[in-house]
Amino acid sequence: MVLGLIFNYKFRFSEILWSFSIFLESVAILPQLFLLQRTGEAETITTHYLAALGGYRAFYIPNWIYRYVRSLLSKGCTNSEEFFVFLDRWYMHDSVDIIAVIAGLVQTGLYADFFYVYFTK
């Protein structure tokens, strides 16, 4: 909740709740991950559910890449100089949701750790 209060785009109730939900989603797997690492086992249905959630999250990454490449092509970027000019404009005009990107990277890292434990145990 503290991260939602500190890191938001506008200090409004709805924005704070949105930020909180993004941060909470990124670390929601931690209790199950701690349990799995400490005990070495978990209920089968729970681990399969978490694996399905991780698979769902894994599809976010190709979606980000697809949307980024599609936006590049729609702007007519054909060489590296145009690419970097576009990248600079894209970032500077708030087209990058930095809160969602950072939370997504944290969540992806935690799921990668979960999958490592899931497949090795």
- Residue pLDDT, tens place only, 17-47: 999 999 998 898 888 888 887 877 777 787 7
Q: Between 95 and 113, where is the model more confident?
A: 113
d(CA 81, CA 94): 21
Over the chain, what is the mean pLDDT?
Answer: 79
Per-domain boundaries in the chain: 2-120
d(CA 21, CA 19): 5
pLDDT category at 80 given cuts 50, 70, 90 is low
Dihedral pair phi/psi, residue 13, rounded to 5°: -55, -45
Q: What is the mean pLDDT of residues 60-88?
A: 68
Give the torsion sign (CA, 66, 72, 73, 75).
Answer: positive
